[in-house]
């Protein structure tokens, strides 16, 4: 009986030792993997490298690469939005005022989430109705496929319900390389976070 108990203790001990060894080896492998450079598929996305063409509120075709080398505050909205877009525009204006106070030269971009209805003309009306005539604000529309792909890249969900478009709230700051540096995703987030 004592021999059987000793054999069970040895077996339990061996199982525990094997588990400890596997755990330690896993930790070592994770540590070593963290020292390796990230593969290309894990690298941050440069939005200045996306190939999609957009049309601005002056009717000109532009690409995000046109802003390469400049920091950017970016969101997706639509010109006829009545709820979240009003909050987003208010946040963007607050960020612009803070950037002015800090003497930061930064561009602002709104990319349409409703390409069916956002035309250069509706964007010009949007700009005028919100008293935002500054040259560092850019209002762009892509085609439907571009809009879907861009929204997916930036992580904004949207959906149509009858004639209205609903969407997530998100404002991001892109660095000079076009990579997301910071973001706000809640209406109560302090917009100044994007300028720190």
Residue 81 makes CB contacts below 8 A (sequence gap 6+) with: 165
**Percent share of the chain, pLDDT over 70:** 76
Cβ contact 160:144 at 8 Å: no
DSSP 113-157: S-TTT--HHHHHHHHHHTT---TTEEEEE--HHHHHHHHHHHT--
Cβ contact 170:77 at 8 Å: no
Which neighbouring-strand residues pair with 183?
172
Does pTM surpass 0.85? no
**Tens digits of residue pLDDT in 103-113:** 999 999 999 99
Range 31-39 average pLDDT = 48
Q: 98 and 9 in one domain?
A: no
| Total domain count, the chain | 2
**Tens digits of residue pLDDT in 154-176:** 999 988 888 788 888 999 999 99
Whether 41 maps to a domain, the answer reads no
**What is the reported pLDDT for 8?**
53
Q: 31 and 59 in one domain?
A: no
Q: 18 and 93 in one domain?
A: no
Q: 153 and 75 in one domain?
A: yes
Q: 121 and 29 in one domain?
A: no
Which domain, by its residues, includes 23? 2-36
Whether 183 maps to a domain, the answer reads yes
38 band by pLDDT with thresholds 50, 70 and 90: very low
CA distances from 81 to 112, 118, 136 (A): 11, 11, 22
């Amino acid at each position: 009986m004592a021999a059987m108990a000793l054999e069970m203790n040895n077996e339990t001990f061996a199982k525990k030792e094997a588990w400890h060894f596997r755990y330690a080896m896993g930790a070592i492998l994770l540590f070593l993997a963290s020292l390796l450079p990230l593969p290309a598929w894990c690298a941050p996305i440069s939005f200045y490298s996306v190939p999609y063409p957009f049309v601005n509120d002056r009717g000109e075709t532009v690409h995000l690469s046109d802003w390469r080398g400049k920091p950017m505050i970016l969101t997706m909205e639509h010109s006829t939005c009545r709820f979240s877009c009003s909050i987003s525009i208010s946040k963007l204006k607050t960020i612009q005022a803070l950037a002015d106070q800090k003497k930061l030269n930064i561009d602002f971009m709104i990319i349409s989430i409703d390409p069916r209805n956002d035309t250069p003309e509706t964007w010009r009306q949007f700009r005028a109705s919100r008293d935002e005539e500054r040259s560092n604000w850019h209002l762009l529309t892509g085609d439907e496929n571009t809009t879907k792909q861009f929204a997916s890249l930036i992580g904004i969900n949207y959906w149509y319900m009858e004639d209205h478009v609903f969407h997530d709230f998100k404002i991001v700051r892109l660095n000079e390389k076009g990579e997301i540096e910071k973001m706000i995703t809640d209406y109560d987030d302090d917009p100044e976070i994007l300028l720190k």
